[in-house]
Amino acid sequence: MAARQPDAIIVGAGVIGCSIAWALARRGIKTLNLDALPAAGYGSTSHSSAIIRPFYSHITSCALAHEARFLWQRWPETVGTEDERGFARYTECGGLILIREGEEDAYSLNLSVLDEVGVDYELFDSAQVAELYPGTCLDAFGPPRPMADENFGQPSDGRIGGGIFLPQAGYVSDPQLATHNLQVAAEALGAEFRFSARIVSIERDGQAVHGVRLDNGETLRAPIVVNAAGPHSRQINELAGVADSLKITTQPHRHEVAYVTAPAAYIDHGNGFVVDLDAGVYQRPDGKDLLIGSADPDCDPPDIVDPDDYNSEFTEQWTLQVYRAAQRFPMLGIENTARGTVGLYDVSDDWIPMYDKTDLEGFYLAIGTSGNQFKNAPLVGDLLAEIIMAAAKGRDHDETPARLELPHVGRSVDLSFYSRNRKLQKTRSVLA
C-alpha cells in the first residue's frame, strides 16, 4: 500500500516547526517536516538562550509567554511521549530587569501589562539589587558605547536605582533536546520528518499552494505548506511568490552569545537571569557558566547576513559583550579563550513574529521568531493550528481573526496581533 501523502508540509524542523507538527498531528492532520539540516533543532534553535519570561509591553505577548511557562514547568506531561534521550529541563530561577534612576516611567507599560495578565513581580530598590548580587556595580554606564569609544567602561551620570524582579521566570536547559521531545511526540501521532532536504520551489496551482520541489528533483504534494524556515524564511516566501505582498519583512541577524565562568557571588545568591539595558547585555546562568547575550543597543548595527554564508566564528563582539557585563559585575573574569555560540535570528521589522495565512491559499507563516519565541514554542503550534483550522471551516482569518484560549492565565487572545498586515508595533529593545 502506498504511503499516505501528507496533509501539510512544514518547512523547517526547529522548535517552531516541530511544535506545529505536534499540534497538527494532535488534530489528525498528517504532517511532513522538511529541513535542510541533519536533525531537528540543529539550526537557530540550538543557539537559543532559552530564557522563559513574560516581560513584554503587549498583553498578547505577555499572556502567551506566561501560559507557556505553565507548560514548560510540566514538560514531560506536556509532551506526553517518552523520549529515549530524556526531557529538557525548565529551571525557574527568576529574573531581574535593572532600571536606571529616572527611567522608572519607561517601564510603566510593562508593569501594567504584568498586572493585567496576573504575573507576579517585585520592585527592588538599589539596596535589594546589591543584596541579591553582592559586588554589583550600580554605576550607570549607558547609553551603551562601542569598545572603540574613548569613554567605554567609564561610568556616566546616574545610578542603577533598582529593578523589576520576576519570580515566575527561568530558562530551559537544552533547546535542542526540547525540540527532539516535540519531534518524538509528533512522530508518535504519525508525523514524519525528512532531513538534509533542501527546497528549491514552492509549487502552485493557480492561487493555491500544492506542494514543494526538492533539489533532487522530487516533488511532494500537499494542500498546506507552512513556512517555519527560521533565517531562511524570506527565501521561502520568495519561492512562494508572497514576499512582496507582506507588509512586514524578515531578515537573518547574526548573534553571538558568550560563555564565561560565573562569579561565585552570582551563582551563590541571585542565580537568575539579569537584563541590563544600561550596559546593553543580558545574562543567565548555565551550571557554572554565565551566558551573555546582546540586548542589541542602538550603537551596535544589526549584523544582517546570508543564512547560507556567514561567519560562524567569534569576533570582537564576543569581547564587547563580556566587557559590558563586567561593567556591572566587576568580579567577572575575562577568559582568554572565547566560548559560546554563534547563530542566526529570523527578525521581523518590529521583533514580533508573523503567525498568519498569506494571499497564497494554503501557504502559512510561522516566521520572524527571532530569539525570543523559543519560550512560546509549546503554544505556537496550537496558535497556527487555530488559524489553519479556521480556514478549513471556511473562515477568513483576515476578516474574522482566529483566537487562542489560554486556560492557565484565563484569557483568550486575538491572533491578528501576529498578522502580516499589522501596523509596526513599538517595542523596547529585544524585550518587546
Same structural domain, 216 and 277: no
78 phi and psi angles, rounded to 5 deg? -65, -50
CB 23 within 8 A of CB 385: yes
Query: What's residue 425's pLDDT?
Result: 85
DSSP percent split of the chain into helix, strand, coil, nearest 5: 30, 30, 40
CATH assignment of the domain containing 272: 3.30.9.10
Domain of residue 199, residue span: 8-87+173-249+350-431
Has residue 394 got a pLDDT over 60? yes
Same structural domain, 226 and 368: yes
Q: How far is CA 62 from CA 54, 169, 373, 375, 391, in A?
A: 5, 12, 12, 11, 26
Residue 2, domain member (yes or no): no
CB 239 within 8 A of CB 202: yes
Return mean pLDDT, the chain.
Answer: 95
Which triple of cell numbers denotes residue 22? 505536534
Has residue 284 got a pLDDT over 70? yes
* pLDDT tens column, 336-380: 999 999 999 999 999 999 999 999 999 999 999 998 899 999 999
With bands split at pLDDT 50, 70 and 90, how would you rate the model's confidence at 432? very low
Residue 3, domain member (yes or no): no
> Among 345, 375, 390, which residue terminates a domain?
345
Query: What's residue 4's pLDDT?
Result: 72
Residue 1, domain member (yes or no): no
Residue 339, domain member (yes or no): yes
For residue 220, the number of C-alpha atoms closer than 13 Å in the C-beta half-sphere is: 26
Has residue 431 got a pLDDT over 90? no
> Among 286, 313, 345, which residue terminates a domain?
345
What average pLDDT score do residues 68-79 get?
98
Has residue 429 got a pLDDT over 50? no
Number of domains in the chain: 2
The pTM of this model reads 0.96
Give the least confident one: 3-7, 146-150, 330-334: 3-7
Has residue 430 got a pLDDT over 70? no
The continuous run of DSSP H or E covering 364 comes out as strand 363-367
Residue 355, domain member (yes or no): yes
What average pLDDT score do residues 36-41 get?
97
Query: What's residue 428's pLDDT?
Result: 56
Same structural domain, 307 and 255: yes
313 CB burial (10 A radius; 0-12, 13-18, 19+): exposed
What average pLDDT score do residues 65-73 get?
98
